[in-house]
Amino acid sequence: MTGPETSRRVALVTGGSGGIGRAVVDRLARDGYDVAVHYAGNEARAQEAVAAVRQQGGRALAVGGDVADEVAMGTLFDTVEQALGGIDVVVNTAGIMVLGPVVGFDLADLDRMHRTNIRGAFVVSQLAAARLRAGGALINFSTSVTRLQFPTYAAYVASKAAVEGLTLILARELRGRDVTVNAVAPGPTATPLFLDGKSEEEVGRLRSAAPLERLGQPDDVAEAVAFLAGPARWVNGQVLFVNGGIG
């Protein structure tokens, strides 16, 4: 679908209402993007992100929906295209993390997490592949723990390893489209998703693991996303590890 003409690039950020997603929204707005801020449950935070984009002179809107629901997300893509004129960049940060050892892991939690992290990534990637304009970029999210093998992360890492496989193959399938497909794999990053349920001792151990001896910040990850979204046209079909040198 088409909408109002615009010379500005347009980005859709899933999970854009908080954490890394919100940092990505702010960073792309500084680069001059109009931004659609997706949320799953917290519209108020999404509207705060929208207001911040508008303060920088950009157009923005909040769009809600379940990333794993292909009908809802198809409608969401329609809405963004109609409101902002098209979509050039999709950043798929939406995801959930449940930790626990394999033995005794609640399979209901496994199903819930994999529905969002695998099916959701697939639905969003499928729509992005069909809708992104030439010169566009799809950026999915993995995790550095696919390489670090921390205990209790098995179920989460299994979902993110699937996202990596999807990303690398889709990049090859879009030959001739002038659309790049990459994944960002953050290391330990100070977000509510990461910090939830961790003791000070655990956080301190992870903080000291990187040679830079700190946790990543959402802005650190957003810088990598901005690189892949804009100038990095020769980076395609890759997983970019953004983790301060850990592992």
Catalytic residues, by residue number, are 156
| CA-wise closest residue to 93 among 4, 209, 232, 194 | 194
Helix (H) or strand (E) holding 134: none
**What are the DSSP calls for 146-171, one per residue?**
HHH--TT-HHHHHHHHHHHHHHHHHH
Residue with tokens 């909040």: 62
The beta-strand segments (E) located in the chain are 10-14, 34-39, 60-64, 89-92, 136-141, 179-186, 239-242
**CB within 8 Å of 240: residues ≥ 6 apart:** 182, 183, 184, 185, 224, 228
Tokens at 136, concatenated: 């566009």
